[in-house]
Structure formats: structure tokens, C-alpha cells
Structure 1
């Protein structure tokens, strides 16, 4: 195939970004390309999701996954393929991820060289951690069973076309918390008559900095961040309630449980000590991305065939950002790979970001080599 076609697919998809579970035009485009390549296309898996099946022999099945959704950002720049949807853009490179999967499908259809089935999984709603759960709830792995699943995410800050991953925890799980501090509001001139939830909340915010520092093993990465504080007060009134919202990151269920328990303990204890009370809501948003060692070995073998071995990092440091791919890895072994988008490239989630087309061929060739390594044909057995 000509890789100019992969670039064109990427640019077309970049023009039509859509938010999570609203990827209708994107889904139509992807289904049209995949159907044109001759794959069996199943639509509306978990909403706007797609599974395209390529069967070549009686061997086992593997899954390749790409995410579909954009971000609620207004794109800057004058590139000729800029977003046509005001206020939405592909600022995380999902257009590139989809184009690489389409390119891998095109090469595998044309060249084959494997024995088994490849399930091309196009997942909606990655950005808010909803799409993988929706596809799983819709029977993804029952309807399209695979023995392993693989995915790629581009990585600004890594050299263009370099590949990096690690066994074990690659990306963190994300939880959110909301602490509603209930006091007794009143006139700012009569503080002796109130239970001031602002004072309580301030003490809680400071105390939460000890959750990781004094409760989590220093060898276990974890983050607790308070990101928003709101009140129901006014300039001359002490409020009756304060809401603290925040975000936590961790790589294991044990650390997650320690963080949650200590947030509850501190918020409730400090509030009670001041005569108020705290209501804590703690939610699990993203599962950690925990790579399977055997799948990582297969991925690294494919990576070293695709690019020079010195461009492959098999023990890259963990990253505390989160990825919806982690929900799949709770159900089936797999490996998530990072693909360099340029050492000096614009960060993800920036209105100036753009996926570097120079990484597309590496991603396509990596996927093809991976499939042929995991599902070797008769001549390779």
C-alpha cells in the first residue's frame, strides 16, 4: 500500500473530531474504509464503537485497539486539515491512532502472512473513561474473543518514531473525589455564631498532602491533587458548605484503597473536630494500565523488527496519566505501546498539538509485525 493513503485518512479524521459517544461521522468514515478493505464490520458496539474482523486461517485471535474521540478544545493554527467542528479537535492524536489501525488493516489484507483472526477495535469515549466499559458491557470479549489485546498511544517528548513500553504498570489509574464540608453559615461580622466550613476545608486540603507522604510506600507511585474549591457563600457571608474536588493517581488496587480510606478519615475527622461534618464521594474513573509480561515480550520483538533496536525502550518509566485501555487489560492480557511524536513536539491536550505524520508508518509496520509474530503462519511455525 502507499502510506500517502494513511496520511490522507489521518487528515480526513482530523477534520471531523467528535466528543465521546458522539462519534457518528467518525464511525461512518471508519466503517466505510474498513468495509472497502473487505473486513467484516460490526457497528454500534458500546454505542459508536466498531469491531472489524479480518480472518485468515484457523489460528487464535488477537485484538488491536484505537480510540476515536476528540477533546472540547478550539484548534489553533492554519493547517489545511484543521478541525471543521468548532470547539472540538483531535488534541490527543486519536486521529493518528485510527489511521495507523486502518493502515495495518490494509497491509494485512493485501499481504496476509499470519494464521488466525485480527479484531480491529475502534473504541469511543476514551477521554472520560467510558468507552472501554461500554464496549465490555456490550459483550465485546464474548462476541469477539481474543487471547491478547494491543494498543498504541503517541507520546510527545519521545523521539519521533521511537517505541517504548514496560511490563507491569505503564499508566496510572485515576480516581476522583468530592468532599462536601457542611458547617453553619452566617454573617461575616459574627464568626462566633458559625461553624466555618472554609476553615475546615483549608485544613483538609493541607492534611490531604499527607495521604501519599505518610501512608503510601515511597516505592509505589501515587498522586493526590485538590483541583477545585467552591462555596455557597457571598462577600459578606460565611458559607454553610464548601465543596473540595480532586483527583488521585495510582497503579494498584492496594494503593487505591489506602488513598480512599485516608481521604475519608481525614475529611470526616477534621470536620468533626471543628463541629462540622464531611460527606465524601470517591469514584473510580480509569483502571491502571498494567501490561502483561508475555504480551510485552511479543510487542518488543515486533518493535525491534520495526525500528532499530536502539530506538526501542523496554523499561520506560511509568507515566501517571491514565488510559481507558486499562479496562481491557483487567479482562485480557495485552500490551500498550508508546510511540514517539517528537522530542520537542507540542504536549497532548494543547490547542496547538498535532500528530506527526512521520510516525504513521512506524505504527502501521509495528502492528503488522506484531500480528505476524503473535499469529505466525504455517511457514513460521
Structure 2
């Protein structure tokens, strides 16, 4: 079965929703105008309940089926990124320094499209909980919504989400039957020595050479401490120090992103990071201050739910367009908190060729919206049949 005909019939309306959202991006938890637009559409659609102000600007809307049954959660993130848009599109961002560079405007549109269909047909038992979440990019809105009790409050028994994937063929789905995306932690290190003239380093305690030694040693953690088949990444992404070629600075800083799938590997990476930075600081006679930000956990699908979701995706896009054995990815996603709270799965939906996620030239492909909306709608009908 291809894209649902009813959903295909209002693809133009979905495109209009998406363009409005794209033109009016908001960041982190400050998604109040986005939420107001979503609520207005939900009221037009005719959902049964709308609950606002969750995690500041998040929404949970409920649609009742034709008879009692469980509650299935469907999630879409709705925040944008602090990026200056370079698409040149007529619907480009009207807010300088902000844009939907990750396609969350498309995610919202797909969930609204599914909501419109489900509210019209109600060809399912139980209830659907539509979760519109702020602050995925920064702030962990998924964790906040879980901590504010959305799973228990609305009786959600399992939860699903999708993310668009540029350069995966249009309408293709992929996922894994287990760990899909990595945890992410961030380390900020400040190294303080004693500055002075570059001509007299013996009178100084140079933080630059200490930082260089730390960064080199940190690169040995994964290949020399982590089992080769347990994927992990540590990337030092920033080093800042110095002001002139003839001055040894007083201090310097560097930062690293640290990613893994297994909790024990994640703990090991942190332990070795501290040991290397603190040990190197002692060896070079400098002081090191580490701010270690424990971030999103790994996104781990429940195998049975991921297989079920893949089977539903085949009904929408065809057998050859779905791969549930795709490679896991080192990116991260705060849908992980929802999967820690309830069984479920997360999938990627191809939107065809184009600029990658978080790129200033990225734009969601409106042709992908009917696929995502059909997947969500059919997922409900299959999960909770009459």
C-alpha cells in the first residue's frame, strides 16, 4: 500500500504549514509562536484534547479511537537552530540567525498530517498521543517532558518518532533493531599556567604545550582502551589560547565531544578523560579545570518495536525501500529519553538529495511529508486495530 490517498490529497495544505513554520523558526524552549500555530491547526483538525505548556512550550494532543484500548505516542520536535539561512527559498527564514536547518518544521508537518487523517477516520482502538517537543537541539526537551510525567499522565504505552535524512532516497526508511544513535557528552577544559615572554619560557609555566599533550593523549583513549567492536568517538573540536606570537599565555581552553553506545563504555571514556587531563596537568605543572557535561543517552530501539515499525514502513514505501539493518550512527537525539521511559523505535525517512542537516543551505523536501504522515497514521492503525 503506497502513501495514503487521503493524506496525499492534502499535501498542498501540509506544504503551506511547513513553509509557515520554516519562515518563523524559534530556538530551544522558546517555541511559543510555533506551539500556537500547532494548536490552531489541531483545533481545526478536531482532536479531542490539547494540553499546552509542557516543558515550557511543548504540547500533547489526544485523539480517541472508536473503542477503548492502549495509548500510542507519536513525537515530533519543533525547535530550530542558530544558523543564518542560505537557501534563497521564497519561504526562507524571516528571523536573522535562526533557521530550520534540521527539518523539525517537516517533522511537525508530518505529525499534523497524520493527526488530520486520524481525527477524520478514527480507524483504531485506544488513543493517540501527539507529542510536539521543544529543545531537541539544545536543552533536552525530551528529558524535560518525560520528567514532567507525559508518559504516565497520558498513559502512553509505547512511543515512536522519525527524523528526515537528506541524501537517502525519497520515501526510503532505515533504522536498526537496537542501538541507533550514540550518547553525547561534552567536555570543556581550562588549563592555567604562568604566562610571560615567549623569549623566556623558563620563567613561565606554558599552558600551550600542556594542552597539546592532553589533546594528543586523549586521542589514544578509544583505540587503546575501548574494545574495537564497541563504537566510540572522542573529537577535540576547539582549542583557544594565546594573543600574540611572542607571548606565552596565562591560560587556554579546549573542548571535546564524546560519544558511545554502551553505558559502561561511556563511563570508561569519562574516567580516562579525567585521568589523562589531570595526570598531564600534574606532569606539566599547570592547573586543569574540567566541566564535563553529561548529555543525551544513546538512542536504543526495542528490537520488536523497530521491526514492527519497519514492516509498517514497507506498507507505505514498498519492501525495497526499507532497511531495518542500517548502520548505527554517532549522532545523538533526545528521543532517547522517551525510549528509556517506554518501548518504541526511531526511524530515518529519506528526503532525497540536498544539503546535509545543520547546513545553512538545507531545506526539508515537502514531497517527503506524505510519506511520514502516512507512516505515522498506518502505524497507529496497525498497532491498535479495531
Shorter-chain TM band: over 0.9
1:372 to 368, 381, 385: 381
User: Is residue 2:109 matched to residue 1:99?
Assistant: yes
Contact kept, 8 Å, 1:46 with 1:137, in 2: the verdict is no
1:211 to 190, 207, 221: 221
1:207: Cα distance to partner?
0.6
User: Is residue 2:270 matched to residue 1:260?
Assistant: yes
- Could you tell me which residue of structure 1 aligns to residue 11 of structure 2? 3
| CA offsets 1:42-72 (integer angstroms, 9 cap, x no match) | 1100100000111112100010000001111
Q: Secondary structure at the match of 1:97?
A: helix
CA RMSD of aligned residues (A): 1.3
User: Is residue 2:142 matched to residue 1:124?
Assistant: no
User: Is residue 2:297 matched to residue 1:287?
Assistant: yes
- Could you tell me which residue of structure 2 aligns to residue 361 of structure 1? 370
Q: Unpaired runs of 5+ in structure 1?
A: none
Provide the C-alpha distance between the structure 2 equivalents of 1:333 and 1:23, rounded to a whole number of angstroms. Answer: 27
- Could you tell me which residue of structure 1 aligns to residue 308 of structure 2? 298
1:189: Cα distance to partner?
2.2
2:181 to 171, 188, 193: 171
1:129: Cα distance to partner?
4.2
Provide the C-alpha distance between the structure 2 equivalents of 1:364 and 1:129, rounded to a whole number of angstroms. Answer: 27
Provide the C-alpha distance between the structure 2 equivalents of 1:359 and 1:77, rounded to a whole number of angstroms. Answer: 18
1:233: Cα distance to partner?
5.4
2:31 to 15, 23, 26: 23
- Could you tell me which residue of structure 1 aligns to residue 3 of structure 2? none
User: Is residue 2:164 matched to residue 1:154?
Assistant: yes
- What count of residue pairs does the alignment treat as equivalent? 376
Matches within 5 A, 1:63-142: 63-142=73-152
1:13: Cα distance to partner?
1.2
1:281: Cα distance to partner?
2.0
User: Is residue 2:321 matched to residue 1:311?
Assistant: yes
Contact kept, 8 Å, 2:146 with 2:341, in 1: the verdict is no
User: Is residue 2:257 matched to residue 1:247?
Assistant: yes
Q: Secondary structure at the match of 2:138?
A: coil
| CA offsets 1:22-61 (integer angstroms, 9 cap, x no match) | 1111110000101221221111001000001111121000
| CA offsets 1:60-118 (integer angstroms, 9 cap, x no match) | 00100000011111222332222121221111111110000000001111111110111
Provide the C-alpha distance between the structure 2 equivalents of 1:240 and 1:345, rounded to a whole number of angstroms. Answer: 45
What TM-score do the two structures reach when normalised by structure 1?
Answer: 0.96
Contact kept, 8 Å, 1:55 with 1:118, in 2: the verdict is yes
- Does 245-254 or 98-107 show the bigger shift? 245-254
Provide the C-alpha distance between the structure 2 equivalents of 1:186 and 1:10, rounded to a whole number of angstroms. Answer: 56
Provide the C-alpha distance between the structure 1 equivalents of 2:139 and 2:349, rounded to a whole number of angstroms. Answer: 21
Provide the C-alpha distance between the structure 1 equivalents of 2:188 and 2:359, rounded to a whole number of angstroms. Answer: 27
Contact kept, 8 Å, 1:298 with 1:373, in 2: the verdict is no
Contact kept, 8 Å, 1:47 with 1:134, in 2: the verdict is no
Contact kept, 8 Å, 1:233 with 1:240, in 2: the verdict is no
Provide the C-alpha distance between the structure 1 equivalents of 2:333 and 2:160, rounded to a whole number of angstroms. Answer: 13
User: Is residue 2:170 matched to residue 1:191?
Assistant: no
What TM-score do the two structures reach when normalised by structure 2?
Answer: 0.94
- Could you tell me which residue of structure 2 aligns to residue 274 of structure 1? 284
Provide the C-alpha distance between the structure 1 equivalents of 2:286 and 2:94, rounded to a whole number of angstroms. Answer: 51
- Does 227-236 or 181-190 show the bigger shift? 227-236
User: Is residue 2:358 matched to residue 1:349?
Assistant: yes
Q: Secondary structure at the match of 1:122?
A: strand
Provide the C-alpha distance between the structure 1 equivalents of 2:88 and 2:292, rounded to a whole number of angstroms. Answer: 42
Provide the C-alpha distance between the structure 1 equivalents of 2:41 and 2:275, rounded to a whole number of angstroms. Answer: 53
| CA offsets 1:319-357 (integer angstroms, 9 cap, x no match) | 111111111111111100100011x32111111111111
Provide the C-alpha distance between the structure 2 equivalents of 1:118 and 1:230, rounded to a whole number of angstroms. Answer: 49
- Does 121-130 or 185-194 show the bigger shift? 185-194
